[in-house]
Amino acid sequence: MQRFGKSTISRLRYSEDALNDLRAIFGWTKRHYGRDQANAYTAGLEKACDGLLRYPAGAPVHASGARSYCAKRYRSHRIFYRADGGDLLVVRILHTAQDAPAALDD
């Protein structure tokens, strides 16, 4: 289970997979709904990630393989994250229809 000590979480980081997820979400949204909507949606995702620093333990825990992750929903996506030293690491940002256990075990 993830443990977040309020004073121990110093910053938010994104894994390379999470950054790739953000780029893919932006591209898909731009193709289907236009640049303005893509900007707005990804900005909302980033704001939701920033909000995790204020209350990181407030999301359900999901086990995948040997690791456990917290998950926060933002509209059609789930933000999977975990403690990593003194940081909060966003591991993946997945659409709710995606197979999260398979994506998290990659």
Domains in the chain, start-ordered, CATH in brackets?
11-105 (3.30.2310.20)
Percent of the chain at pLDDT exceeding 70: 82
Tell me how far apart the alpha carbons of residues 47 and 84 are, in angstroms, rounded to a whole number.
Answer: 20
**What is the tens place of the pLDDT at every residue in 62-100?**
666 667 888 999 999 999 998 888 889 999 999 999 988
Contacts from 36-45 at CB under 8 Å and sequence distance 24+? 41/75, 44/74, 44/75, 45/74, 45/77, 45/79, 45/93
Alpha-helical segments (H) within the chain? 16-33, 35-51, 100-105
pLDDT score, position 1: 39
